[in-house]
Amino acid sequence: MGELTLNLTGERTANLRAALNGGIGDLNLVLPRKMSVRVKVSGLGGFNSAGFRKQGDYYVNDAYGKTTHSLDITVNGGLGDLEITLE
């Protein structure tokens, strides 16, 4: 139970693929606006993804497919809210 903020902004020199598994609690995920980002979400909680658009089973940002490196994230949430923001 609780709240976690995970900030993955900053310069990247390689692709990042990550899987986040939640339980009970809220997750605030901060991702880079100028990098290609794709997120797949499952779980029972609320979801806020301002700055993303739905593409199939994923949410992608405006830079998706346009940058050298990318973030590919799967979030398996439990009971709690997920908020994804771009910086």
What are the boundaries of each domain within the chain? 3-86
More confident residue, 37 or 21: 37
Q: Report pLDDT for 30.
A: 96
Q: Report pLDDT for 32.
A: 95
Measured between alpha carbons, how far is 45 from 78 in angstroms, rounded to an integer?
7
Q: Report pLDDT for 33.
A: 95
Measured between alpha carbons, how far is 15 from 31 in angstroms, rounded to an integer?
13
More confident residue, 79 or 39: 39
> For 31-68, how does the pLDDT look when each residue is reduced to its tens digit (9 = 90+)?
999 999 999 998 878 888 889 999 999 999 999 999 99
Give the mean pLDDT of the chain: 91
